[in-house]
Amino acid sequence: GAGEKPEVETPEAYLSLLGVIGEDFRIIFSKIHGGIIEYNYLGKSLIKEVPKPNFYRASTQNDTGNKYGFRYGQWFSASLYQKAIFQKATLNEDGTSVEIIYQHILPGNVETEIEVTYLVDGNGKVDVTLDYQPSAKQIEMPEFGMMFKLPLDFENVEFYGEGPMENHIDRQQGTMLGIYQYTIYENLTPYLMPQECGNRTGVRYADIYNKDEIGLHFSFIDDAFEFSAIPYTPIEVESARHPFELPLPYQSVVRINKIQMGIAGDNTWGAKTHDEYLLSNQEHYVFKFSFNGHIR
């Protein structure tokens, strides 16, 4: 129940793992791999890989005409090749939560850092804080958030936010706040050319779960967030020019963002996303959200 004290497995300094264990969950953090390598709830492993900050979205057909990839390619590599360095793990004074902090160093032309803090309580709820100060020397990010890779059987989604169809900060006038459901396959919009798709804005919570109704529950802390769940990463979508070039689905990919740039301008031959729908390269960004194992 609320306020339970988590059991913390604190390894010796030379070991690379730290575990937070409760009645129904087990969360394993890795110093070497830079984050959560295991989130087990009711005996079910809920993640495939370490969740990582993500800064890149796949291009749209509008973007191909305005050379989106050339401008934002540095954020492509920053999403793929960032290096996470373990900072510290602290049992809070009241003994009811554990705080684990990593510093993520971004490669290439970006050469900046983002701090990621995990606060784990006795029920297995993880509060995540992404803290990033952009550099005015760099072009703005296409998106600011975190990407999770889940087993493929996590294919069902329910969310409370703007819907029912996909929408973005510059394409949301026809939406209505409500509770909606979809599968990750339905959320892969069948464009002639694979491109960014499936996003929802103004999301208060989102559940992604398997046929046994076990899954992850994402919820906002300070502000509503943007959310998408499809069978592919932005990189896989970006690499395909026809639907048949996409690989066979092998995982569920969740992206939870503070914000994603608009999906581009007014034509397909050079118009860019309007300035008011871009992120800033000078604003200090802090994004907070929670996730936990959940049975519906």
Taking the domain 7-295, which CATH number applies? 2.70.98.10
Distance of CA 166 to the CA centre of its chain: 17
Nearest CA to 140 among 295, 277, 294, 293? 277
Nearest CA to 162 among 150, 173, 147? 173
pLDDT digits (tens, 9 = 90+) for 166-215: 999 999 989 999 999 999 999 999 999 999 999 999 999 999 999 999 99
Please state the φ and ψ torsions of residue 3, each to the nearest 5 degrees.
85, 0
Angle at 163 between CA 161 and CA 167, to 5 degrees: 100
Enumerate the β-bridge partners of residue 256.
Answer: 146, 227
pLDDT digits (tens, 9 = 90+) for 25-71: 999 999 999 999 999 999 999 999 999 999 999 999 889 889 999 99
Q: Which residues contact 114 (CB under 8 A, 6 or more apart)?
A: 53, 82, 103, 104, 106, 130, 131, 132
Nearest CA to 116 among 33, 199, 8? 33
- Asked whether 21 and 122 are in contact (CB, 8 A), the reply is no
Nearest CA to 41 among 210, 158, 185? 210
pLDDT digits (tens, 9 = 90+) for 84-100: 999 999 998 888 899 99
What is the amino acid identity at position 105? I
Question: Where would I find the beta strands (DSSP E) of 31-174?
Answer: 35-41, 44-45, 52-54, 83-91, 97-105, 113-121, 126-132, 143-150, 156-163
- Domain ranges in the chain? 7-295
Angle at 51 between CA 262 and CA 260, to 5 degrees: 5
Percentage helix, strand, coil for the chain under 3-state DSSP, each rounded to 5: 10, 45, 45
Tell me: pLDDT of 4 over 70.
no
pLDDT digits (tens, 9 = 90+) for 5-28: 666 655 544 478 999 999 999 999
Q: What distance in Å separates the CA atoms of residue 97 and residue 144, rounded to the nearest whole number?
A: 26
pTM of the model: 0.92
Nearest CA to 75 among 148, 142, 145, 168? 142
Which range (7-11, 90-94, 142-146, 153-157) has the least confidence?
7-11
